[in-house]
Amino acid sequence: MNLDDAQKQKVAGWLEEGLKLSDIQNRIASEFGVRMTYMEVRFLLDDLKLKPKEREPAPSAPVEIGKSDAPKGGSAVPPRPEKSAPQPAAPGGSANVSVTVDQVTRPGALVSGGVTFSDGNSAQWYLDQTGRLGVVAKQQGYRPSQDDVMAFQAELQNQLAKLGY
């Protein structure tokens, strides 16, 4: 990497401020005039023995509620073994949200499943190939509460982590 010691210290400071890798990549380009790929920034931080700060999970992916344009029908992917049963959200949360992961992933998705929100309404969710989360409510026009959305995302992350995603 083409950075001197002062620049490397500045990068370490940005990391301590809590900047994400993409923000650091942009700052390196704008302040130092050095264009680096995201992977090169990761290698730089590894060379400097620095690790990004762990952030609390925040609702970062938009939740799409409404009609799905995903085709219906079977999938050419062989069925997976039973993965998870509905489980309540993490203890201490105000919302009681349960998330399941489908044995057979819905077509056009990397992983899919169902969710039941604290008010009893349910929906189908999926993650597409670009990592976008989509939620299709059974009741048209339904929008879960903010607490339910946050609990859903946290529980979804927990369920997917158990499965190795």
Tens-digit pLDDT profile for residues 123-160:
999 998 888 988 999 988 898 889 999 999 999 998 88
Task: Over range 16-41, report the average pLDDT.
Answer: 86
Say what percent of the chain tops pLDDT 90.
Answer: 16
Task: Over range 72-84, report the average pLDDT.
Answer: 48
Instruction: Report the alpha-carbon distance of residue 14 to residue 5 in Å, rounded.
Output: 14
Sequence spans of domains, the chain = 5-47, 57-165
For tokens 């942009």, the residue is 26
* pTM to 2 decimal places: 0.44
**Confidence category of residue 54, pLDDT binned at 50, 70, 90:** low
Three-class secondary structure assignment of the chain:
CCCCHHHHHHHHHHHHHCCCHHHHHHHHHHHHCCCCCHHHHHHHHHHCCCCCCCCCCCCCCCCECCCCCCCCCCCCCCCCCCCCCCCCCCCCCCCCCEEEECCCCCCCCCEEEEEECCCCCEEEEEECCCCCEEEEECCCCCCCCHHHHHHHHHHHHHHHHHCCC
Q: What is the pLDDT of residue 68?
A: 46
Tens-digit pLDDT profile for residues 97-123:
999 999 898 888 999 999 999 999 999
